[in-house]
Amino acid sequence: MSNTLLELSHISYRYPDGSIGLDDCSLRIARGSRNVLIGANGSGKTTLFQHSNGLLRAQAGVVRYDGKEINYGRAGLRDLRGKVGMVFQNPDHQLFSASVQEDVSFGPLNLGLDMATVRQRVASSLQTVGMTEHADKAVHNLSFGQKKRVCIAGVLAMEPELLVLDEPMAGLDHAMQKELMAVLDGLHQRGITLLLATHNIDFAYRWAEHIHLMAAGRCTASLNAAELGEHATALTAVGLPLPEVIKLHRGLVERGMVPATPAPRCANSLLGLLTTLNIAKEIP
According to CB under 6 A, which one of 28, 35, 44, 203 is a site residue for ligand ATP? Answer: 44
In angstroms, give the least distance from the CB of 89 to Mg ion. 5
| CB-CB contact of 4 with 28 (8 Å) | yes
Tell me the C-alpha distance between 223 and 211, whole Å.
5
Asked if residue 269 binds Mg ion (CB under 5 A), the reply is no
In angstroms, give the least distance from the CB of 88 to ligand ATP. 11
Output 89 or 128, the one with its CB closest to Mg ion.
89
Tell me the C-alpha distance between 273 and 150, whole Å.
39
How many CB atoms are located within 10 Å of the residue 158 CB? 23
According to CB under 6 A, which one of 6, 7, 8, 21 is a site residue for ligand ATP? Answer: 21
According to CB under 6 A, which one of 3, 19, 110, 127 is a site residue for ligand ATP? Answer: 19
In angstroms, give the least distance from the CB of 37 to Mg ion. 9
Tell me the C-alpha distance between 129 and 165, whole Å.
14
According to CB under 6 A, which one of 17, 133, 136, 282 is a site residue for ligand ATP? Answer: 17
Looking at 45-199, list the stretches that DSSP marks H as alpha helix, in order from N- to C-terminal side: 45-52, 74-83, 100-110, 115-128, 144-156, 174-189
Output 41 or 233, the one with its CB closest to ligand ATP.
41
According to CB under 5 A, which one of 9, 33, 46, 90 is a site residue for Mg ion? Answer: 46
Pairing of strands 162-166, 193-197: parallel
- Contact region with ligand ATP (CB under 6 A), list: 14-22, 55-63, 73-81, 238-246: 14-22
Q: Identify what 41 binds: ligand ATP, Mg ion, none; CB under 5 to 8 Å per kind.
A: ligand ATP
Secondary structure class of 17 (helix, strand, coil): coil
| CB-CB contact of 87 with 166 (8 Å) | yes
**Residues engaged in binding ligand ATP (CB under 6 A):** 15, 17, 19, 21, 39, 41-47, 89
